[in-house]
Each structure stands twice: as structure tokens, then as C-alpha cells.
Amino acid sequence: MKKSILDLIGNTPLIQLDEHVYAKPEFLNPTGSIKDRMVKYMIEAAEKSGELKPGYTVVEATSGNTGISLSMIASLKGYKAKIFMPETMSIERRKIMEAYGAELVLTESMNEAVKRAEELGKNNGYFYLNQFRNKNNVLTHRYTTGQEILDSMDGIDAFVAGIGTGGTIMGVGQALRERFPDVKLIGILPKDEPNRIEGIGCYYGEILKEDFLDRIVRVSNSEAFSTARELARTKGLLVGPSSGANYFVAKTLKYERVVTVLPDSGSRYLSTGLFGSL
């Protein structure tokens, strides 16, 4: 028996998508995305350090998934959450955050969202989660996601992940290279402008170290969307466009064992036309 839904975060299985590609279905986390891991880890670290105290409001800038995770976890732990998010993100994201009781402020851009969250976080009674610069973002994936992959694989040749904050590829990459120094790390950024692959490429700060990666691949909106539809219709996996981008790149690599993540559920993209015209 689990004492809390927080105990269901992480420990997702590794599933085989084809002959050489394996994936972590991170949409199985309680709110439907990989960001549950990071938010739980960072909030608990802030509680232990004394930066986050009872009665505080937790503030964050997000393209959506982190805001949803924060809304749920803050509510469960008794904090208020105030989220700044670009107005271009899907309507489902807004509604889910509001369902968890968060206060949502829409902005014209991610840069504006970050600036406003940062300013508010300087005030007494507020804690700025700061996913784009918080070292615990990387540590989350080094000590959870990365270790889970190592526990599931006898060897790995390449790891593929979209770059949002950079936390996933940096943290998992650090864990994998401790055991397999030659593993290839391949990051993904959007090719198109405007970018419709929500969750990647919109903003990244000090966490990402590009020289740590072997390669960065650019993926178009159509490539990500069509591959997300492929995953739904051939693999039974209802996932978002960043998952499509990850699998699009992973399946083209000429390595024996390629691992990637499926960051979030496709259910929060139904209003975007991802799975068909509206």
C-alpha cells in the first residue's frame, strides 16, 4: 500500500518499441509527465534546506508540464502555487493547473514568464522553483531516471532526449556515462519557427552543457506530430509531440541499444490537432 500519490512518482518501466529502441513511458507518472520527478525532488530538497517553509507560495515559469506537476504537488503538501506560462500553450494545460488549484498567469513569451516568476520569487513568503537553473533538476534524473535505466539494461549505446531545461539529458547522461563512458548523448531541438513541439526548445538556462552532448538534432513540427500519431496507432501509446520527436530520432540511429523517454501524455494535446483536425 502507498501512503501518498507521491509514492507513485518514478520507477516507470522500460518498454521495447522496436528491435533496437527502448523507452521510459513517463506519462505513467501521476500527473502524466516526467516533470513529476523533478518537482517532487526539488520541493523536497528545498524543504530540507529550509528555503521552502510552511505557508509559502511556490512560483514557477513553465511551458506546461512543470506547472501541472507543481500544481498537484504543492496542493498536496499544503503550499499555494503561482504559475507563469506562455499563452500559446494548450488549453488542456491551463485547465489541469486550475483543477489542482494553482493560480495561472499567461504571458506573451517564455522569457517574460521566467522574468516575472524570478521577480516574484524574490519576495518574502515566495519560493521560486527555478527549473532552468536549479541543480536539483539534473540530480533528479541522475539519481532516479538514469539509475532506473541502468537497472534495466545490461548495456546502452545511445540516449536520446528533447531539450527543454536540459535536465533530463544532462542528468541521465551523467548516470549512464559513469558506467558506460562511450554512450552517445543526442539532444533534440525544434527545427521550425513557430515551434509547436511543446516542452522543448522554448527556453533553457545554465543547466545544459552542449559540449557534454555528442550531437543535437533538429526535428520539424510535422516529423514530431506524425511520429506521435504513429506511436498511438501502432504502439498503443498516446503521447505528446516531444515523445514523437524523441522516437523519430531514436529509430533512425544505427546503434544496437538506444534508450529514450516518452515525456508526457497525448491527452493534453487533444485541442491542438495533434491527432487529427478539429
Residues tagged active-site? 35, 242
Q: What is the DSSP string of 41-102?
A: HHHHHHHHHTSS-TT-EEEEE-SSHHHHHHHHHHHHHT-EEEEEEETTS-HHHHHHHHHTT-
Distance, in Å, from the CA atom of 15 to the CA atom of 173, rounded to the nearest integer, reads: 19
For 36-71, give one letter per residue: b (16+ CB within 10 A) or e. Answer: bbbbbbbbebbbeeeebeeebbbbbbbbbbbbbbbb
Measuring CA to CA, how many Å separate 188 from each of 111, 134, 196, 251? 20, 21, 14, 13
Q: Of the candidates 131, 258, 241, 264, which has an alpha carbon nearest to the alpha carbon of residue 190?
A: 241
188, 189, 194, 195 alpha-carbon torsion, rounded to 10°: 40
Which residues, 6 or more positions from 221, have their beta carbon under 8 angstroms from its beta carbon?
A: 190, 191, 192, 195, 196, 197, 241
- The three-state secondary structure class of 106 is strand
- The three-state secondary structure class of 270 is helix
- The three-state secondary structure class of 237 is coil
- The three-state secondary structure class of 200 is coil
Look up residue 80 and give its three cell numbers. Answer: 499555494
Distance, in Å, from the CA atom of 125 to the CA atom of 164, rounded to the nearest integer, reads: 28
